[in-house]
Structure 1
Amino acid sequence: MKKKSMLVMLFLSIFMLIAAGCGSNNASEPQKEEPKEEKKEEVNKEEAVSGASKEGTYTPYEELQDSYDIVIIGAGGAGMTAALEAKANGMNPVILEKMPVAGGNTSKSSSGMNASQTKFQTEQGIQDSNDKFYEETLKGGKGTNNPELLRFFVDNSGAAIDWLDSIGIRLNNITITGGMSEKRTHRPEDGSAVGQYLVNGLVKNVEEKQIPLFVNADVKEITQKDGKVNGVRVVFNEKDEKTITAKAVIVASGGFGANMDMITKVRSDLAGYVTTNQVGSTGDGIRMIEELGGTTVDMDQIQVHPTVQQEKSYLIGEVVRGEGAILVNAEGTRFHNEMDTRDNVTAAINALPERTAWLVFDSGVKSRAKAIEQYEKMGFTVQGDTIEALAEKMNVPAEELKTTLDTWNTAVTNKNDAEFGRTTAMDNALSGAPYYAIKIGPGIHYTMGGVIINTNTEVLNKDGQAIPGLFAAGEVTGGLHGQNRIGGNSVGEIIVFGLQAGVKSAEFVKAQ
């Protein structure tokens, strides 16, 4: 009897322990699920924030202070870079991000970061110059780039690569993008997409430097007093409104590539296009700066990227072509120089009856462009062990596709593309099975226009005067790219001008 009682007590104890464990798990689950609920606010939110920082790195709302030296609007590459540099210059900055995670459009960047005269180029025997980088970017922008911003950008691009390396973000794998004549597009060492790597590295540094980063923090207004910017009005979690004072504000909120009302207002011809932009790119910073007297430039200059997977509105990075892929039409033949500038390649695809094309590449390209692994996981690729098998998957004439690849491989061997005059990204033939293809078409990708700044990243009014205490960096600004952005220049821009915004805003605060 005594033995039976002990057994009963033992079973009861085990049951209570299991129940307690289940209760503990249930109690903790809502905390883990809350960010996921936030992601349901808009369509494609999960995709929009892919590659962003790990859960648990953000500052709890309870730690919010009433005042900071510098408020930074936006936790993309420009915002986090500015925060790190402001902190290094003795400031107490805060980052406010309206999305549930950090990263912005930076997290979706694929190809790499353009920079010239870098230590990694020197190590690899790549001869480049800032002047060449300047001239090729100016040509790509149709000669309409702001020359002062462009000069500052190229001359400081190498130092930006060094700065990233100094904080553990190493971009020493170098490729090439359209419109460039030299390999200056810097990627992570393993050749993977630059965006996720860059965002994770910046978030890690922000956390290590104990810079507060609040998410779900939607800034509604930049405030002024006596003609100087003095803080922001922000809504947290769509309910708690706060006014935070500051001696300076840096706007790094991104462009307006996901705001179709703003886009079609200046470019009605783009109605109906898909967009590669994350859903937070709605032009809030531009609106708030205009309310303070800031002005804009090139707002109708909106870049349509030629290679976008249409069903998921997902960018297929230029690195795929940069590592040797070709474009073919529904007949299985090439129709344009794949390494031409984005606007020209887009126009060539739009001129096709179907307004779509196929990116065709082999196992060699796949091994060199690690981003393809992600495209494969998402179901974008078709594959064939032979060219004929690939043609069948693509539903294009097998004989034509084989002739196209044979002709191309001969051009690579002879370093002479007699058909379309391509001169770059011809280092490797497409001859390594299996073969792959991704169906693509044009999509809205980048807004070249934005607020006007000077090389100190100060926001200017209509008279060309700096608005005291107001700075901006990244896609929210305009002028650097002119009428067409070169692939890889946007990542360079957010680091170069993010660093400058951190330095110059700190100088402004110290002078007060």
Structure 2
Amino acid sequence: MKKKAAAALILILSVMLVIAGCGNNGSSNSTGNKSKDNEAKKETTEAVSGASEASYTPYDQLKDKYDIIIVGAGGAGMSAALEAKAKGLNPVILEKMPVAGGNTSKSSSGMNASQTKFQKEQGIEDSNDLFYEETLKGGHDTNDKELLRFFVDNSASAIDWLDSIGIRLNNITITGGMKEKRTHRPEDGSAVGQYLVKGLVKNVQEQGIPLFVNADVKEITEKDGKVTGVKVLFNQADEKTITGSAVIVTTGGFGANKEMIAEVRPDLEGLVTTNQIGSTGDGIKMIEKLGGTTVDMDQIQVHPTVQQEKSYLIGEAVRGEGAILVSSEGKRFTNEMDTRDHVTAAINKLPEKAAILVFDSGVKSRVKAIEQYEKMGFVLTSDSIEGLAKEMKVPADQLQKTMDTWNSAVKNKKDAEFGRTTGMDNDLSGAPFYAIKIGPGIHYTMGGVKINTNTEVLNKEGQPITGLFAAGEVVGGLHGQNRIGGNSVAEIIIFGRQAGIKSAEFVKAQ
């Protein structure tokens, strides 16, 4: 009996330990935290990281000190952590949301890079100089040229690095403002974000890097002008001070903070946002308190193709693979592959300030993200143009005329109406046909904190704040007044890696 009782007791204790270990940081069952978790889960249903909450580091494994503290578990933060770990250091990632990924999870079109091995394999002739020139032109010549040069020159190695850790982006398409195909996607043509986050989380776990969620960093601590760590609130209840030799801020932008947007751009009030609810500018505010400076804060990108009811981004790859935009009259009204600011302006000139994406089965087969749009109920479909026009509530004869004119333009490789030159590899003749109603939405904040090419955060005198690094959308300057589609994913990987490398070098030199 004693043996049976002892065995039973051991079994019960084992179960309790498993439950404790699988809990979200060990204390996610509080009533207050459930409401936050539920809200966040609802907002990120379509963009989960691919890792269950139980896979994150339990709260009871938290230490008082780490070599490098990374604030934010998006693409930039996880890339930084992996590079810091590869340098032999002990990084930790703190994420305020219940899941890793941030806005990276919502990325759709792909990752821009030039002179890559995948481009060469596919016979795509590209150059870093062309990438530089087109991005500079897209940003209206207002980009930080040093950051931009570093960005394009390190883009191919970023693709190689991802490939080396099992994240292969060898399906290449094109986005607005580009002349060459350089937007790298997963092999099956699916949305890049969820694939990227899933792969990065897997690598973080395999490398044994602690990743705590529901860990809301409230303050970056410093002493005598040098960063010393962070104050973090776990599960909305338990505040801890963690020390570190360096801090990397990768908290993203402020596209979900209506107050911050209204302060710098009151003209955007009322627009929907594609940003996940955690994009509230926390990192920018904390860095400003330490004396860091910001740049381009009023430069906020409005994406032209957002499904309005659910504020869901319809990726640029849909147009890159051949879709056109039509008005409520069934007519084309702009070059769909122009830069985002120009396409948005064209939509806003329409009486209804909205438009409709039209495409065929060929586009659908080349852009796997459309399957997600279908699941979410965004896609209208018909076996004929006449039937699609009825679904769209536009004149059938005009839509047919528009499609015929477009298909002739593709055949002749000349868009006489609007001068489009890219995304014209295939016509729109393959039934069934599809349409998605869209309008502009707040998508990306180009402004943020100022850094140098070592990702060191700069103060108002242009000097680095000792021990403080930043990467990703929290940073300003790279994109200037307008971001090219596909450049944000490139930015988080390129500068995330650089932050991990340079912070590691800094810590080792101490």
SS of 2:54's equivalent in the other structure is: coil
What is the match of residue 299 of structure 2?
301
Structure-2 separation of matches of 1:143 and 1:124: 31
Structure possessing the higher radius of gyration over alpha carbons: 1
What is the match of residue 256 of structure 1?
254
Structure-1 separation of matches of 2:35 and 2:426: 46
What is the match of residue 169 of structure 1?
167
1:480 to 478, 481, 485: 478
- 1:258–1:275 contact (8 Å) kept in structure 2: yes
Per the TM alignment, residue 44 of structure 1 is displaced from its structure 2 partner at its CA by 4.7
1:73 aligns with 2:71: yes
Q: Which amino acid aligns with 1:211?
A: I
2:319 to 318, 321, 337: 321
Gaps of 5+ in 2: 1-10
Structure-2 separation of matches of 1:436 and 1:127: 32
Q: In the TM superposition, what whole-angstrom CA distance separates every residue of 1:37-95 from its partner, at most 9, and x where no partner exists?
A: 54334695344753453332200000000000000000000000000000001110000
2:426 to 421, 425, 428: 428
2:176 to 155, 178, 183: 178
Question: Alpha carbons of 1:51 and 1:390: their partners in 2 closer, same or farther (altered >3 Å)?
Answer: farther
Structure-2 separation of matches of 1:322 and 1:186: 12
1:346 to 336, 344, 347: 344
What is the match of residue 157 of structure 1?
155
Q: In the TM superposition, what whole-angstrom CA distance separates every residue of 1:292-333 from its partner, at most 9, and x where no partner exists?
A: 000000000000000000000000000000000000000001
Q: Which amino acid aligns with 1:505?
A: S
What is the match of residue 334 of structure 2?
336
Alignment of 1:141-220 (within 5 A): 141-220=139-218
- 1:48–1:278 contact (8 Å) kept in structure 2: no
Q: TM-score, normalised by structure 1?
A: 0.93
What is the match of residue 454 of structure 2?
456
1:374 to 368, 372, 390: 372
Q: Which amino acid aligns with 2:411?
A: T
Q: In the TM superposition, what whole-angstrom CA distance separates every residue of 1:18-46 from its partner, at most 9, and x where no partner exists?
A: xx9xxx99x97996995875433469534
- 1:44–1:279 contact (8 Å) kept in structure 2: no
Structure-1 separation of matches of 2:506 and 2:93: 18
What is the match of residue 232 of structure 2?
234
Structure-2 separation of matches of 1:146 and 1:57: 39
Alignment of 1:131-146 (within 5 A): 131-146=129-144
Q: Which amino acid aligns with 1:323?
A: E
Question: Alpha carbons of 1:462 and 1:474: their partners in 2 closer, same or farther (altered >3 Å)?
Answer: same
Q: Which amino acid aligns with 1:60?
A: P
What is the match of residue 8 of structure 1?
none
Q: Which amino acid aligns with 2:421?
A: T
RMSD: 1.9
Q: Which amino acid aligns with 1:219?
A: V
SS of 1:286's equivalent in the other structure is: helix
Per the TM alignment, residue 469 of structure 1 is displaced from its structure 2 partner at its CA by 0.1
Q: Which amino acid aligns with 1:194?
A: V
What is the match of residue 89 of structure 1?
87
Question: Alpha carbons of 1:226 and 1:89: their partners in 2 closer, same or farther (altered >3 Å)?
Answer: same
Q: Which amino acid aligns with 1:61?
A: Y
Structure-2 separation of matches of 1:124 and 1:501: 31
1:416 aligns with 2:414: yes
SS of 1:75's equivalent in the other structure is: coil
- 2:47–2:194 contact (8 Å) kept in structure 1: no
2:463 to 459, 465, 469: 465
Structure-2 separation of matches of 1:365 and 1:172: 18
Structure-2 separation of matches of 1:351 and 1:42: 35
Q: Which amino acid aligns with 2:425?
A: D
Structure-1 separation of matches of 2:177 and 2:482: 10
SS of 1:492's equivalent in the other structure is: helix
SS of 1:427's equivalent in the other structure is: coil
1:407 aligns with 2:405: yes
Structure-2 separation of matches of 1:511 and 1:43: 41
Q: Which amino acid aligns with 1:400?
A: Q
Gaps of 5+ in 1: 1-19
2:502 to 501, 504, 509: 504
SS of 1:196's equivalent in the other structure is: helix
Structure-1 separation of matches of 2:97 and 2:320: 32
Q: Which deviates further from its counterpart, 50-59 or 223-232? A: 50-59
- 1:52–1:107 contact (8 Å) kept in structure 2: no
Structure-1 separation of matches of 2:226 and 2:458: 13
Question: Alpha carbons of 1:364 and 1:48: their partners in 2 closer, same or farther (altered >3 Å)?
Answer: closer
Q: TM-score, normalised by structure 2?
A: 0.94
Q: Which runs of 4+ in 1 moved over 6 A?
A: 27-30
What is the match of residue 120 of structure 1?
118
Question: Alpha carbons of 1:31 and 1:292: their partners in 2 closer, same or farther (altered >3 Å)?
Answer: closer
SS of 1:56's equivalent in the other structure is: helix
Structure-2 separation of matches of 1:255 and 1:111: 19
Per the TM alignment, residue 266 of structure 1 is displaced from its structure 2 partner at its CA by 0.3
- 1:100–1:216 contact (8 Å) kept in structure 2: yes
Structure-2 separation of matches of 1:147 and 1:53: 37
Count of residues in Structure 1 that have an aligned counterpart in Structure 2: 490
What is the match of residue 273 of structure 2?
275
Question: Alpha carbons of 1:333 and 1:51: their partners in 2 closer, same or farther (altered >3 Å)?
Answer: farther
Structure-2 separation of matches of 1:79 and 1:52: 17
Q: In the TM superposition, what whole-angstrom CA distance separates every residue of 1:423-465 from its partner, at most 9, and x where no partner exists?
A: 0000000000000000000000000000000000000000000
1:292 aligns with 2:294: no
1:394 aligns with 2:395: no
